[in-house]
Structure formats: structure tokens, C-alpha cells
Amino acid sequence: MLTLVAFIVALGLLIAIHEYGHYRMAVACGVKVLRFSIGFGRTLLRWQPHGSNTEFTLCIFPLGGYVRMLDEREAPVDVSERHRAFNTQSLRARALIVAAGPVANLLLAVVLYACVNWVGVQQAAAVLGSPVAGSVAERAGLTGGERVVRAGFVGAALQDVSSFEDVRWFLTRGALESKDVQLSVQAGQKNQIRDVTLALATMGSSEADAGLFRRIGLVSPYSRAEIGEVMAGGAAELAGLRQGDIVLQAGPHRVLDGAQLRGLIRASGQSSVAVASSWKILRAGESLEVAVKPELVQEGAEKIGKINAFVGGLPEFVTVRYGLLDGLWQGVIRTWDVSMLTLRMMGKMVIGDASLKNLSGPLTIADYAGRSASMGVTSYLVFLALISVSLGILNLLPLPILDGGHLMYYLWEWLTGKSLSDVWQERLQRVGMAVLAVMMCIAFFNDINRLWG
């Protein structure tokens, strides 16, 4: 139920803001708006404010919306109201009205990110867990336990880092945009600062998934190698492990943190036969040894080891909060960064450099809506901001059926001095609908694979 409610609220809000952008700009330009509708199909609610020319409706299928304006191309217009028709407006006014919808979504994202910055959010501190063996991070000389104080792309100014999420954001962008990332880290007893360069430019990453961070090597923030909840009948319970045990050594390996221990357990599946190893643990101040035999399970094309217990204690947390102006500016920066990354990923998908698996449909969005809502208000606001950016950027694409396609028509009119013919507009509309239909089918197929594959 939470997933459904969170999805409907998200969709309704983002569509309403998008259409409201069109509506407000049309009114500002003197265009008569006949109807403002959220959703399609049978009308559930209909009202018209006193003194307004606009009928507002809420329909049964909230998968879109529209603003219907007075237009000679759709119906005859009285001579006395011709100056209020959309098609009689200047090129500049028509372009502003069309662009206002996507811009409204981008502005909403800025406000949502700013609200999160003002309220503050608990995030894991920027302390790195042990890198995955053979990964980019290990080759760069990271060992785990380093605190990241600044991060950025090689050749650009480094920025202060507030949390582990900031580090992940730089790593994601670096891998997908083929840029090397530089980290200024604090480590050792004297907390000396040194710079580390992660060679991500040559990774050739085409998909932002869990495998990406395993290849980079920085999967999670630092956490103690502590055993959490133990599942009944699992390998951990059979070995005698209990919640609260601290693992000091697993087989011949000295264990430094939870990330390393998870990696060792996972790597135990590389053997075709499950083998028990001796673990040295600390329980209530007493050192003990137990024999642990991980269970081998198939994950994709490889076998991995599992002990059926939560591995790793809670990381260090910090409260990330900004002042009024700083929070707003950070909202602008994050909206810009997400927009640029979205455009680059779309461009890479078009030319085949990025996987089409990155396309998400309504099922995945609904799933993420429910998950983020269950995690709290701030997580849900971040989710809304991300989807709002995606909706804004998608509508700016030069597909004839989208706002960006209409802007493309106006660009042609500005360059040539004459509008595109009705014949060509109809042909391009068909092409746009076909492309959009293909994108929706791919996104829906990806949804099925993600959720039930």
C-alpha cells in the first residue's frame, strides 16, 4: 500500500508541477487556458474557480496531463479573442510557454534538494571501507579506514566532502563520464593528508549498478567487522556465531573491517566445494576460535559464499545540513549535475556506449518510491527530486511528441522565417510516437527483469 500511495503522490505532484509551468507561463503571456487536466480518461473531479476561464480536472489515470489553450488550429476562435489564442502569439511567447513545463520540473528539483539540505540528513561519514581485492581503489593504494576530506575530477578543483554519499556521487560520475577521480584522504595516527587518484577514465562503464562499485572497489563506508542478526539454520548459527561477535581473523586473513569480511565470505564461493575455515572472534572481551563453513549459492554466472548473517556494524554517521543560501546553491549544483549526467547517459545510450538497461519504467519508479518513502521523508524528497530532473530532461529531448520537439519546430521557424508545414509535423509526430513507444517497451522490459528476473 505504501508503494502505491508513494508512487501516485510522486506522479501526481511531478505532473501537476510540469503542467502548472505551462499554465502559468500561458497566463503570463495573455493566452486563454481552457482546461488544466491531471490524468486521462474518466473525470473524477472537476471545478472552475470564480472569475477564471480555466476548468480544472482530475482524471482516473494519473499517467500524464495536459493544458488545453485557445487555438485556431483546434477549433474556431471568435475574432474578439483571437489575440488570446496560442497560435497567434509571437515565436518567443510560444517557446516560453512550451519550455515552462520542463523548467518547472527542474526548479522543483532545486527546491526539493534545498529542503533536504536545510532540514539536514543523517549520512554515513566519508570513511572508506576496505577496497575489493584487485579493484581500482586497491591498485591506487587505499587500504580502508581513510577519511575523505576532499574529492573531485583530475584537473579540476577539489571540493569538500561531507559524507560517503558525496564520495559515491563523484565515483558514479567519474565512471560514467570517463573521468579520473582524485581523493584527498586522511589516514594514519598523525592524520596526514595525501592525494589518491582513481583511474576511472578507462573503465568503460556503461551501467550504474552494484557491479560498478565492486570494480571501483569502494562498496561501502567503514564499519567494524561485527556480526549482526544471525539467521536461524544458516552457516553462521551452525558455526556458533552470535550477534555482537567481532571478527579479528578469518582463516589466514587478518580482518580490518566489515567490508573486507564480506569480501572474504563472498570470495569463499570461488571454490566448487564449501570449505570450513577457522575464525578468531572477540566475544564479551574473550578471544574465541570457531570453524565457519560458508554456504555456496549461485549469483548470476558465479558462485559466492554466504553465512546467512548481517555482517558489519553500523558506520559512523554525520548530520549533513546547510544554511539558507548554501542549501539553495547546493540544490542548484546537484540539479545541474544530475541533469548533465542524465543527458550524457542518454547520449551514450543513443550511440551504444551505455546499456539500455539504464532505462527505467513505471514499475521500477513505483518500487523506488515505496522504498524511499519507507526510509523517511528526506529519502523520499531526494527520490522526488531525481525523478523531477529526469522528467524535465526527458521532455526537453528533441522528439516531436515532447516539449523538446515543439521547441525544435520553433527553432526551424526562427532560422527559416516560416513554420513547419502540417504535413511534416504529422510525419514527425508519428516518428516521435514510435521512438517513445520503443523506449517505453524497453523500460518496461527492464522493469520486469529487475523486479522478477
Round to whole Å and give the CA distance between 203 and 19: 40
β pairing state of 159-160 and 147-153:
antiparallel
Round to whole Å and give the CA distance between 392 and 292: 52
Kindly state the cell numbers that stand for 252: 589466514
pLDDT value at residue 210: 63
- Residue 378: strand pairing partners: none
Buried b vs exposed e over 177-211: b needs ≥16 C-beta within 10 Å?
bebbbbbbbbbeeeeeeeebebebeebebbebeee
Which of 387, 363, 371 has the alpha carbon at shortest distance from 444?
Answer: 363
Round to whole Å and give the CA distance between 349 and 358: 9
Q: What's the CATH number for 136-216?
A: 2.30.42
CA diameter of the chain: 92
Kindly state the cell numbers that stand for 161: 566532502
Round to whole Å and give the CA distance between 377 and 383: 10
Which residues are known catalytic residues?
Answer: 19
pLDDT confidence band for 191 (50 / 70 / 90) = confident
Instruction: Look up residue 181 and give its amino acid.
Output: V
Mean pLDDT for the stretch of residues 128-149: 90
Q: What are the extents of the domains in the chain?
A: 90-120+323-453, 136-216, 227-315
Read off the DSSP letter of residue 246: E
Instruction: Look up residue 74 and give its amino acid.
Output: E
Mean pLDDT for the stretch of residues 421-431: 82
pLDDT value at residue 199: 92
Contact yes or no for 128/221 (Cβ under 8 A):
yes
CATH 3.90.1150.10 given to domain 227-315: no
Kindly state the cell numbers that stand for 33: 487556458
- Is the model's pLDDT at 450 over the cut of 70? no
Is 0.85 surpassed by the pTM of this model?
Answer: no
DSSP-derived secondary structure for 187-228? ETTTTEEEEEEE--TTS-----SHHHHHHHS--SB----BEE
- Is the model's pLDDT at 363 over the cut of 70? no
Kindly state the cell numbers that stand for 453: 528476473
pLDDT value at residue 198: 93
pLDDT tens track for 311-322 = 888 888 999 999
pLDDT confidence band for 35 (50 / 70 / 90) = very high
Residue linked to cell 523500460: 443
- Is residue 50 classed as helix, strand or coil in its secondary structure? coil
pLDDT value at residue 111: 96
Contact yes or no for 315/164 (Cβ under 8 A):
yes
Is there a common fold for 136-216 and 227-315? Answer: yes
DSSP-derived secondary structure for 294-351? PEEEEETTEEEEE-SEEES-PPPEEEE---HHHHHHHHHHHHHHHHHHHHHHHHHHHH
User: Chain-wide mean pLDDT for the chain?
Assistant: 87
